[in-house]
Structure 1
Amino acid sequence: MVRDLLVALGPAYVKVGQVLSTRVDALPARWVAELAVLRDRMAPEPAAAVTAVLSRAFPDGLARVFSEFSQVPVAAGTVAQVHRARLVTGELVAVKILRPRAEDRLRADFTVLLALAGAAERLSTAARVLNLRGLVVELRDLLLSQTDLTREARNHRRFAREFADDDTIRIPRVFGAVSSPEVLVTEFVEGIDPYDIGRVACDAGTLARRVDDLVDRMIFVSGLCHADLHPGNFFWTAAGRIVLVDLGLVHDVSEEERQHLLAFYSAVLDGFDEFAAAYVLRHLTRLAGEPVEESDVPAAAFEAVGRLVRKHWIDSAGRPSFSAMFVDLLGVLGQHRLQLRHHYSRLFLTLVTVEGYLFSLDPTFDTLENARRKRVEQAEYVSIPPAADALVLQGFATYSTALFGDGADPRQAWADRDRLVLDALGVGPGTSFLDVGCGRGQLLVAAEHRGAKALGVTISRTEHEVCTARGLDVVLSSWEDADRHLAGRAGVFDAMAAIEMDGHLGTLHENRVGLFDLRLERFFAWAQAHLRTDGKLFVQTLSVPEQLLHDPAEAAEFERLTGALPWFGFSTLPQMIRCSDRYFAVEQVLDHSGDLLPTHAFWRDNVNRQLPDLRRIASDETIVLVRRQLDTLIGLAESGRLSLYRILLRARNAPDRTTASHRPG
């Protein structure tokens, strides 16, 4: 059998089988069942070998450490096996014991594998594109790191810190005082096999979302990624928490890698075919071992990758399979003698492995739709509890910048800002008004007081609940998806406002590489399509200097801001004008940068005043994040690097407004 052959070849070969065992969508069921045994049910070491390891780790005898110790392992993997035991202090623990000569066996395996990978790259386009030799080198180094269990203990602590705020993840506690390079002692958590979900108190779709959320957080947010996330290295609790084990293999994903992969992923998510094709070729590939210059890539490659992304989007009705796209991408790259850089190959393979498990849980699960949901949630700051949100806002303000003008008090400053917006738009009796990103509904209330018919759109559940409680007509949706919620309501408006909404359109990195421009232009196309001829749009935007995005001398400041404000977007004034020009004529641009400091100082002072109560409601991490963001915005304003513009635009004539839309994103 294939399983027996892989076991006979050695632990490195078994790892390949473990990855393949997740692909229920690609392999025959009998193969998957056979390979699944490799996850944690390999033949254990002889009792004498285990005793020798334990004797070195506990020279004073097991009885000094454990009151109970089962000689029969509960799991056996490629480099170690796990026994159930109880400490003399009473805790139930899992004792992971390194297999004898594990390092020597791995090194011998990889000597052969490297030679095979080199031969495969010479003979196979697919192997060359995948950068197979680079992957084998990295896998060798990762697996060799597993032969020192003190590394795994450190990884346990790193993961525990990273996911301390996530009640869907559980990391077993490490007992460092009784652990060593050959023996790792952790908390024993009663678990349920990843495929036995009938015993878990959550439906399959919820479990799939939790796994997908975990992977995205590891790769795109924290940069701390479990490098061997097959269903033998995690399991479920009865309540549906993911328990991560076997943390010896970890990818540390650099900030640059995260930003590049996220930009490509987001472009696919938004349906920007040409951008996604160009991006993967410019930033994620290499030619003959060197980074690719754009001039090295033939036009045919750009066209082919663009067609590939577009085909997967169309054929799947906007729900492409990441693994299917990845396989086709390798084929196209091979035709043009290009290959993925191995860091990206490993991350793509992680995503492919997890997608195989997600498919087995829920064949209808849509990873891209789940990504869209998460992007909305990140934009609405769901980490801030509603009670804390209400405490800071105190029922009258909004997080956007007020009009302090001649030193008005905060309540008056926001009322003055709303009056400025509605006066500029000409909102009055009988007019129809749409507020995109409507906050707590202040503009809607003011518009209704003027006799206008007002409608709001928000991505925030908290904002939607507040507005609905105030009797306001508000749609819970992103602007991209708002059309399907507007049925039976006015679809074309006299006036529209978008107050600092562009901050959610993309990160600083996405702005620098051009993705923000595409999203911004898509918004203006959508806005024009929903305004009557000559209708007006009022935009309030936070802007940074263009050199901050593009000048190499500003690289350090750019990196600092990317770290301090990871999900915060900024436009530039020329960018706003350029992206709107096809759809809108500029009527007025007001530089109100003087409002930035009093607004953000007000929020910072309010957070500080409410700090004792906030600490009872929100986590310390959330409070630190909010204060850091406010301090960063204040520092930018004080240095003159942040500006506030209030822009009045008039819709240009659109011959056919029904087509002036966008691909659903």
Structure 2
Amino acid sequence: MGTNGIRRLNRYREIVSLLVKHGFGYIVQEVGLTDTLTLKDRLISDFKQGNSQEMGYRLRHLLEELGPTFIKLGQLLSIRSDLLPVEVIRELELLQDHVNQVSINEIKDKIQLEFGQAVEDIFVRFNETPVGSASIGQVHEALLPTGQEVMVKIQRPKIKETVLADLEIIKDLSKMMENHYDWAEHYHITDLMDELSESIKNELDYMKEGRNTETIQLQFENHNGIKVPEIYWEYTTAEILSMERIDGIKITEIQQLNLTPEEKRQIADRLIESFVTQILREGFFHGDPHPGNIHYIPETKQLGFIDLGQIGRLSARKRYDVTTLMIGLMNEDTDLIVKAMYRLTYVPTSVDNKRFYDDIDRVSKKFSHTPLGEWNFGLTINELFSISHNHQIYIPTDFMMLGKTLITLEGIISDINPSLNLLELAKPYAQQLLVERYNPVKFGKRLWNDAEDMAESFTKIPGQLEEVLQKTSEGDLKVKISVHELDDIFTKIDRLSNKFSFSLTLLAFSIVVLGLIVGATFGTNTILTSIHALEVGFVIAFMMFLWIIYSIIKTGRF
């Protein structure tokens, strides 16, 4: 076994040991990893499940002890309110990077390795005391030769190797869970973990974070009220990111400034406007807008966005559907809400459309008598996700991230001024989007694009039909049938066979009776005629006929 294999095996043992320590031993036992435990771990293993709050508490501490990869995984899972109980979600939202600072010598060695120069030769000044230390990177203040104050994010030494190894293990564990738990297979845990793993890998590449920052910056290049830090590419690599320093306070700390209600409303309005631009106009938005990542700059009265490693993306079609959902919620239009939910999620063929519509309608009517300014948008979104979950509808991670982002924004706005409401602030922008949607030029362009898609689909039909006919003639046609459809097919086969059995039985009965009648008519002198075989045979044949008919009818498949 190579070095990587040994490292992976040791990491497996560490993970399994911590699972048992924090009360998740039953998972270890059921997926067949008990053999990796030491005798001590087996003796202390506890296979008892607690309630949701206790489980969430234990899960949070387990992930924190497992390290940066699992902390990031837990933070990303905290947006999956469709899969996890609310008590678990609340605990995952408390996940913190409890890590030690990287020594300044290691930081300097890392910088020299990346740039081929000593720190003193790159920066005029480099503050050896970090302003922040997280599981993946550590941030230091520095001064460039140009006189620009910057924040330098340096990736922890060897963290990439650790994270990538952990992600491989997570992939293995998710496959094991799908093999042992029906719910894991139903919710495509492997696919979900692949999505989350991709998000974590993206955060390891600071070049991507730099490009994300520039993209958001371009969205607001003509907006004086939004500040996004400039990236200094000459001092940036995949593992070191140098960006403009933004001086400000957390947006939730503006209470310290004694602002007037009107000024607070302007700040909240600007925040909503910025995210309407990101989400509904550009389809590229800050995926982690917690208060620490949104600053308020009192001197310029600007909002500053930082830490853009986690980004949400929405295609043009999804932006259209999200707008439809927002308009449906504001206008209490169940048809629009259902239409948008169907387009934004993966709906199985087995879903009961009427029941789903009725459940959405119930939520719509529940809030229909609530003034817009008092409407709890986060509660509404969570109810929509819960209904989808109950109907076994899968919600993609990008839609979940969007929901989480909007709920976080609602909380920030409430902290700024409890009397303000997200939907009330967003309504003017939604109305503007509605007007733009039916703009004759844009409407015509959308119709033209749809017509092009339909024309392209039609042109493919002859080729697809020819391919099906060719495979059929060659006996190579494969048909995919779901379990539900397979059961229907077997039912139909049973009905056909039962009808066939009924016909044969009726024919046999008729032949027997006919034979007996012929024998009695021609007066053939046999032992059968001497014992009234006609009557006896008729009775026996009739009883058999009734028994077969009863058996067929009893199956309910006739």
Give how far 1:255 is off: 0.7
Structure having the higher helix fraction is 2
2:292 corresponding residue in structure 1: 232
2:355 corresponding residue in structure 1: 300
1:162 corresponding residue in structure 2: 219
2:139 corresponding residue in structure 1: 82
1:507 corresponding residue in structure 2: 437
Within a 5 Å distance, the mapping from 1:400-549 to structure 2 comes to 505=435, 507-508=437-438, 549=447
1:547–1:364: structure 2 CA closer, same or farther, 3 Å change rule? closer
1:69 corresponding residue in structure 2: 126
Amino acid at match of 2:361: G
1:553 and 2:445 correspond = no
Q: 2:116 & 2:218 partners in 1: Cα distance?
A: 32
Deviations 1:84-119 (A, max 9, x none): 011123221111101222323333443455566674
Deviations 1:297-338 (A, max 9, x none): 431111111111221333566753232122222322233222
The partner residue of 1:265 within 312, 326, 345 is: 326
2:45 corresponding residue in structure 1: none
Give how far 1:276 is off: 1.2
TM-score by length of 1: 0.51
1:61–1:544: structure 2 CA closer, same or farther, 3 Å change rule? closer
Q: Does structure 1 retain, via aligned residues, the 8 Å contact 2:351–2:391?
A: no
> Structure 2: which 5+ residue stretches go unaligned?
1-56, 80-84, 456-558
Give how far 1:135 is off: 4.3
Q: 2:448 & 2:140 partners in 1: Cα distance?
A: 56
1:208–1:121: structure 2 CA closer, same or farther, 3 Å change rule? farther
Q: 2:308 & 2:185 partners in 1: Cα distance?
A: 30
Q: 1:543 & 1:178 partners in 2: Cα distance?
A: 45
Deviates more, 1:352-361 or 1:220-229: 352-361
1:175 and 2:175 correspond = no
Amino acid at match of 1:287: V
Q: Does structure 2 retain, via aligned residues, the 8 Å contact 1:131–1:342?
A: no
1:66–1:258: structure 2 CA closer, same or farther, 3 Å change rule? same
Q: Does structure 2 retain, via aligned residues, the 8 Å contact 1:305–1:329?
A: yes
In structure 2, the residue corresponding to 1:174 is in which secondary structure?
A: coil
RMSD, aligned α-carbons: 3.9
Within a 5 Å distance, the mapping from 1:48-447 to structure 2 comes to 48-111=105-168, 113-114=170-171, 119=177, 134-200=191-257, 202=259, 203-239=263-299, 240-280=301-341, 282-288=342-348, 297-315=352-370, 319-376=374-431, 378=432
Deviates more, 1:170-179 or 1:305-314: 305-314
Identity of aligned residues (%): 23
1:229–1:199: structure 2 CA closer, same or farther, 3 Å change rule? same
1:218–1:136: structure 2 CA closer, same or farther, 3 Å change rule? farther
1:367–1:34: structure 2 CA closer, same or farther, 3 Å change rule? closer
Give how far 1:137 is off: 2.5
1:33–1:79: structure 2 CA closer, same or farther, 3 Å change rule? closer
In structure 1, the residue corresponding to 2:207 is in which secondary structure?
A: helix
1:247–1:341: structure 2 CA closer, same or farther, 3 Å change rule? closer
Q: Does structure 2 retain, via aligned residues, the 8 Å contact 1:130–1:330?
A: no
Give how far 1:266 is off: 1.2
Q: Does structure 1 retain, via aligned residues, the 8 Å contact 2:276–2:429?
A: no
Give how far 1:54 is off: 1.1
Amino acid at match of 1:141: E
Q: Does structure 2 retain, via aligned residues, the 8 Å contact 1:10–1:105?
A: no
Q: Does structure 1 retain, via aligned residues, the 8 Å contact 2:152–2:242?
A: yes
In structure 2, the residue corresponding to 1:314 is in which secondary structure?
A: coil
Q: Does structure 2 retain, via aligned residues, the 8 Å contact 1:18–1:230?
A: no
Q: 1:77 & 1:205 partners in 2: Cα distance?
A: 33
1:4–1:336: structure 2 CA closer, same or farther, 3 Å change rule? closer
1:35 corresponding residue in structure 2: 94
Deviations 1:261-296 (A, max 9, x none): 11111111122123313431x2122235xxx6xx95
Deviations 1:105-141 (A, max 9, x none): 333443455566674998697x899876544322321
Between structure 1 and structure 2, the one with the greater Rg is: 2
Give how far 1:246 is off: 1.5
Q: 1:548 & 1:153 partners in 2: Cα distance?
A: 33
Amino acid at match of 1:228: D
Give how far 1:170 is off: 0.6
Deviations 1:444-469 (A, max 9, x none): xxxxxxxxxxxxxxxxxxxxxxxxxx
Q: 2:180 & 2:414 partners in 1: Cα distance?
A: 34
Within a 5 Å distance, the mapping from 1:581-600 to structure 2 comes to none
Amino acid at match of 1:277: V
1:318–1:153: structure 2 CA closer, same or farther, 3 Å change rule? closer
Q: 2:313 & 2:391 partners in 1: Cα distance?
A: 30
Give how far 1:181 is off: 1.6
In structure 2, the residue corresponding to 1:262 is in which secondary structure?
A: helix
Give how far 1:63 is off: 1.7
Q: 1:210 & 1:104 partners in 2: Cα distance?
A: 41
Deviations 1:32-67 (A, max 9, x none): 9993865xx853223333222112123221122212
1:124–1:357: structure 2 CA closer, same or farther, 3 Å change rule? farther
Amino acid at match of 2:314: V
2:32 corresponding residue in structure 1: none
Q: Does structure 2 retain, via aligned residues, the 8 Å contact 1:66–1:85?
A: yes
Q: Does structure 2 retain, via aligned residues, the 8 Å contact 1:135–1:345?
A: no
Q: Does structure 1 retain, via aligned residues, the 8 Å contact 2:295–2:304?
A: yes
Q: 2:321 & 2:227 partners in 1: Cα distance?
A: 29
Amino acid at match of 1:219: I
Q: 1:48 & 1:543 partners in 2: Cα distance?
A: 61
Q: 2:448 & 2:154 partners in 1: Cα distance?
A: 52
Q: Does structure 1 retain, via aligned residues, the 8 Å contact 2:289–2:405?
A: yes
Give how far 1:505 is off: 4.4
Q: Does structure 1 retain, via aligned residues, the 8 Å contact 2:410–2:421?
A: no
Amino acid at match of 1:160: Q
Give how far 1:190 is off: 1.3
1:9 corresponding residue in structure 2: 66
Structure having the higher strand fraction is 1
Q: 1:254 & 1:6 partners in 2: Cα distance?
A: 33
Q: 1:79 & 1:287 partners in 2: Cα distance?
A: 37
Deviates more, 1:130-139 or 1:185-194: 130-139
Give how far 1:69 is off: 0.7
